[in-house]
Amino acid sequence: MTEEIAATPGWVDERLDQVFAALPATDAIDSARRTYADCLARDKKPAAPSDILGAEFMECRPPLRNALLSAGVDHAAVSELDAALEALEAEVASDS
């Protein structure tokens, strides 16, 4: 018996590397990135709105934002990252 594991399309990790490249490489930021990537890989909840691309990932970014701010990333950089991740989430949703 095999267990099905949720995953994102293969190109997502590469895109996350690009999005996070502007941030310093620290353990806290790396951990926040991994947690965010895991959130993207989860199965879509049945009640998630299907008419808004990326809506199933809405709960992924707030914890990432908080973790990045706690790690000392400035608000402007977090806002830029947030916009890039919103676009990424829409791409993931349309690709799945």
Q: How far apart are CA 71 and CA 32, in angstroms?
A: 9
Residue 18 domain-assigned (yes or no) = no
Q: What is the pLDDT of residue 7?
A: 61
Residue 82 has pLDDT above 80, yes or no: yes
Residue 71 domain-assigned (yes or no) = yes
Residue 89 domain-assigned (yes or no) = yes
Cβ neighbors of 38 (< 8 A, separation 6 or more) are none
- The pLDDT-based confidence of 1 (bands split at 50, 70, 90) is very low
pTM: 0.78
Residue 50 domain-assigned (yes or no) = yes
Residue 61 domain-assigned (yes or no) = yes
Of 63, 54, 56, the closest CA to residue 42 belongs to: 56
In the chain the beta strands, taken as DSSP E runs, fall at none
The structural domain count of the chain equals 1
- Quote the domain boundaries for residue 34: 24-95
Residue 59 domain-assigned (yes or no) = yes
Q: How far apart are CA 51 and CA 59, in angstroms?
A: 17
- The pLDDT-based confidence of 44 (bands split at 50, 70, 90) is low
Give the number of other CB atoms < 10 A from CB of residue 24: 11
- How far, in whole angstroms, is CA 87 from its chain's centroid? 10
Q: What is the pLDDT of residue 95?
A: 67
Residue 9 domain-assigned (yes or no) = no
Q: What is the pLDDT of residue 90?
A: 82
Residue 47 domain-assigned (yes or no) = yes
